[in-house]
Amino acid sequence: QVQLVESGGGLVQPGGSLRLSCAASGSIIKIYVMGWYRQAPGKQLELVTSITSGGSTNYADSVKGRFTISRDNAKNTVYLQMDSLKPEDTAVYYCNINAIWGTRGLSDAWGQGTLVTVSS
């Protein structure tokens, strides 16, 4: 059984920081790309950032220079450090992991989502 557990969301003032984490467990053969998506109220799901198994990263223009993605392969965990947060960063954040799982082959798995609210 595959499980992704997210943590770290919450309420923060504009200009503040938060760190999200997402830990994968279950029958994991190999993890390829790990990423974070977000969905703001009334908007579509968008890719925020991703990181490959080789460490190459990709960021949405709206978060470049403010967000940093990292991964700990030993812990099957991906992190999102969010600095200089803005009200428009308010959204539910979902982690996504593309991997070969023992029970489901090559496929994506999603976290449960964590709410980030940026407000004074």
Using alpha carbons only, give the angle 22, 25, 27 rounded to the nearest 5 degrees.
145
How far apart CA 64 and CA 78 sit, in angstroms, is: 18
Return the pLDDT at 110: 97
Return the pLDDT at 52: 98
8 Å CB contact between 13 and 120: yes
* Average pLDDT estimate for 39-64: 97
- pLDDT confidence of 1, banded at 50, 70, 90? confident
How far apart CA 1 and CA 101 sit, in angstroms, is: 9
Query: How many Å is the maximal CA-CA distance in the chain?
Result: 45
> Of 81, 61, 69, 83, which Cα lies nearest the Cα of 35?
69
> In this model, does residue 6 exceed pLDDT 90?
yes
Across all residues in the chain, what is the average pLDDT?
96
Return the pLDDT at 103: 83
